[in-house]
Chain A
Amino acid sequence: MKNTQGMVNAFFAFLLVVILGIFFFNAINQPLGNGLVLNKDNPDLSKRVSIHYILKNVHNAEDYLAQHKSSYFRNRDKVKSSNLEFGKTKNAESGSANEVTSIVVNYRGFDTLGEVTVLFISILGLGMLLHENKKKYWAKPSLIVRTGANFLFPFIVLFGVYVFVHGHLTPGGGFPGGTIIASAALLLILGLKDFKNKLTMTKIIESLAGLTFAGLGLVGLFTNGSFLTNFLPSGTMGLLVSSGITALIYIAVGIKVAAELSSGIMEMNGGGEE
């Protein structure tokens, strides 16, 4: 009886999925109204808002939109832009060589603030749910694991710091960098038998890093009249010290993510039991 019902459920689910599939594939293969086709090998970036992020000419585009009104949407590529060169261009809008970083932290920095909050709240929920979790005592780590953990820990942390400090220049940034550091914390938990959870410390670090992010945003609001404004000079593109608050925010994000994920791992390792 139960099995029959399962079969019926599966049949209707399959039917629904097939109908949805036809719906989606049909839509993907439709020519779009305004001449754009999603299903195309070379998407025309000049039809998208990201062309301005790539060319770093958003302020020019703002002026163009104000002057030409609706014809802007047909002529995105006519917006004036200056030539961008690695290591030479000075004070380019967002100033970071990594375009993804410039979007994540600068043009759409508000999303990242939300994203950090999502991580914050989910680790918080994890801690709340695993509150009664008892500490697990692992099998005694072997000599190799112990030595390896002690030896590798500083190098992994260093690598993580490298990744998020160079977030505005190279692939990576705050989130991967923070995760790498958290992996070092995991290694310590696995490698050291008498590892003590340091939840208070991670809490403080996390709070201060979050404070830095939101605080930098508020400084922008009170000095330049808009939240998360890049109020520092953006410098020469490609140098380590460049791109204003983008680099600072990514460092704060890196530290925050590292502290958050480490505290998540520690919650799983018995949490507040000290």
Chain B
Amino acid sequence: MKSNYAVLLIAIPLLVAFLQPLFSLINKRLTKWVTFLTIGFNFIYSLKLLNYVMANGAQIAIIGNWKPPFGINLYLSPFSMLFATIIYFVALIVLLVYLIDKPTEVDDRMSIATLLMVMASGAITLTGDIFNMFVFVEILSISTVILISFNNKGISFKGAFRYIVLASLGSSMLLLAIGFIYGSLGTLNLASIAYRFNLLNPVYASVIVFLFMAGIMVEAELFPFNAWVPEAYKGSKSYLNALLSGVVGTTGIYVLFRMFITIFGSGQNHIQVIGSVNFNAVIIVIGVLTTLIGEFSALSQKDIKKILAFSSMAQMGIIAVTIGVANMNSINAGIFHLINHAFSKSLLFIVAFPIINIVGSANIDKWEGLGRKNIFLAIAFAIGSFGLIGIPFFNGFWSKMMIVESVVSAGGWMYLVIGTILLSALVETFYFFRIIFKLFVDKKIESTYSVHIFIYLAILILSIIVIYIGIKPSFLATYIHKAAIDLVDKSHYISTVLGVIK
């Protein structure tokens, strides 16, 4: 019964969000703090739950006293709790910067949107019901639109509009997929869908998987649905980009992992050709295309936000490849890389914020000489990029090694995929080192902007994590290993939720 209290992770932010308009009547700055404290509560509570499920195995939280598959349930497992915790953590760090940003007239609305966005991302990772997931995906995409259009520039509105068009296209497809699922299986519960999905006619099943994949690819920043990425990132504030990449992107990829491996896939034997189409190959091709497009677009950009946006797109592609390869090692590597990417990319976006303010431009050509002005920011930027590229003894190194290893072990035409991953690493190295060399050019910058202690704090925390994982990757290994086991163990998922042993 204790696990039922996990619903507080969703209920408390919702309650606070409904109360925020009242707080804003008192003071608009207060709402920022309330949001920060609520997400802080979520982080601490989810950390506690993560340790609980690590020790005691997966749990479910039922809602409305209706057991699954009749009611809605939350599924708390090492995998879902790990990602919920990371999402809350990244959001907490980003909010540290938001707290000290200069006040605007719409701060109250922004705090509510941020709170609901983080809440929805957490809820998507936890929920065990497909329609509930759809509702939270909608909350996520609407609050993301508000977040993007916060900056009040033409390009932000364009980015926001492109995002919402793609998101509602995606949600229509998601809802159509839900309709197909309910019409055939007569249920909306994920475990129950997983239990009976292989009974479906393969042609029919592949329509469902196709629609579902298309629906969630907007959030995951994968190829045909990622046209929103450059404008949305360019148009929004740079620390909020950390939320777009570290929270929205992570959630999208999480859903792909969960749905393709546990729910639609056949889980344990690691080879899941779903329906009449080989969706593993489809995902690998999409991942490779996303990576190539992302990396080469990043190479030609001069604007730091766009560079980081395209780079995060490319990383999502690499992680999508690991979903397609779908053996135990690649899933381990994919989860690890997703976590590393969330940390390093948030670090880079947060560092970019004071740098842009000091230099007065997001154009990297103007960044020359920053190392002389503020060595700490320059070093932090270098740490973040090393983590992302995968320089030895930084976090990305281990996960990229694992990805390459796992793809090699899959053999066959996967060598082409390896070529792509290595090429992308090379391109990445090139454009990040280009920036880092510029940072350490000997040149004087005139600026009166003083960096707030909270920004240093956020940067310090993330840098320490990036370096710590790099030196001691075993720190996360137990969590990731358990998460991967949880992810591929389809029958365990079904028996935990439904009590039916297959």
Contacts and interface: CB of A to CB of B under 8 A. Distances in A.
Interface of A: 23-24, 26-27, 30-34, 36, 38, 43, 47-50, 52-53, 58, 61-62, 65-66, 69-70, 72-73, 106-111, 113-115, 117-118, 120-122, 124-125, 127-129, 131, 200, 203-204, 206-207, 210-211, 213-215, 217-218, 220-221, 224-230
B501 A225 contact: no
B135 A34 contact: no
Given A27-B206, A114-B132, A226-B65, 7 more contacts: A114-B135, A114-B138, A118-B139, A118-B142, A211-B18, A217-B11, A220-B64
Nearest to A73: B196
A70 to B, nearest CB: 5
B13 to A, nearest CB: 10
Contacts of A220: 64-65
Interface string B184-211: 1111110010011011110110110010
A125 B145 contact: yes
11 contacts: A106-B64, A117-B14, A118-B139, A121-B112, A121-B142, A210-B15, A214-B11, A221-B4, A225-B65, A226-B4, A229-B65
B149 interface: yes
Interface stretch (B68-76, B256-264, B469-477): B68-76
Interface stretch (B19-27, B40-48, B368-376, B387-395): B19-27
Contacts of B210: 23
A113 B109 contact: no
Given A32-B201, A115-B135, A122-B142, A107 B71 contact: yes
B136 A114 contact: yes
Closest 10 CB pairs of A and B: A210-B18, A48-B186, A114-B135, A27-B207, A34-B199, A214-B15, A227-B7, A125-B146, A226-B65, A203-B21
A258 to B, nearest CB: 15
Given A73-B196, A125-B109, A214 B18 contact: yes
Given A34-B200, A38-B184, A227-B4, A120 B25 contact: no
Contact of A43 (B105, B183, B204): B183
Contacts of B143: 121, 125
Contacts of B138: 114, 118
B296 interface: no
B502 interface: yes
A129 B149 contact: yes
A220 B11 CA distance: 12
Given A211-B15, A221-B5, A225-B4, A24 B139 contact: no
B63 A226 contact: yes
B116 interface: yes
B135 A111 contact: yes
Interface string B471-502: 00000000000000000000000000011111
Nearest to A200: B25
A58 B66 contact: yes
Given A33-B200, A227-B7, A125 B142 contact: yes
Contact of A124 (B66, B113, B502): B113
B182 interface: yes
Given A69-B501, A226-B4, A109 B64 contact: yes
Nearest to A71: B500
B89 to A, nearest CB: 23
B69 A49 contact: yes
Contacts of B150: 128
B454 interface: no
Given A107-B70, A128-B109, A203-B21, A121 B116 contact: yes
A23 B207 contact: yes
A218 B18 CA distance: 14
Given A65-B498, A70-B502, A230-B64, A128 B106 contact: yes
B64 to A, nearest CB: 4
B499 A69 contact: yes
B147 to A, nearest CB: 10
Given A111-B72, A128-B106, A49 B188 contact: yes
Contacts of A120: 17-18
A46 B67 CA distance: 19
B203 A108 contact: no
A118 B502 CA distance: 38
B71 A108 contact: yes
Contacts of A69: 499-501
Contact of B187 (A48, A111, A124, A203): A48
Contacts of B22: 203-204, 207
Nearest to B189: A49
Nearest to B204: A27
A26 B207 CA distance: 10
A33 B201 contact: yes
Contacts of A215: 15
Contacts of B7: 221, 227
Contacts of B192: 49
A118 B113 CA distance: 11
Given A65-B499, A221-B11, A225-B1, A26 B70 contact: no
Nearest to B150: A128
B3 to A, nearest CB: 10
Contact of B186 (A47, A111, A117): A47
Contacts of A227: 4, 7, 11, 61, 63-64
B201 A49 contact: no
Interface centre among B62, B64, B67 (most CB of A within 10 A): B64
A48 B182 contact: yes
Nearest to A231: B65
B499 to A, nearest CB: 6
A127 B108 CA distance: 11
Contact of B19 (A26, A129, A211, A229): A211
A110 B64 contact: yes
B180 interface: yes
A110 B14 contact: no
Contact of B112 (A33, A124, A213): A124
B433 interface: no
A226 B62 contact: yes
B17 to A, nearest CB: 7
Interface in B138-159: 138-139, 142-143, 145-146, 149-150
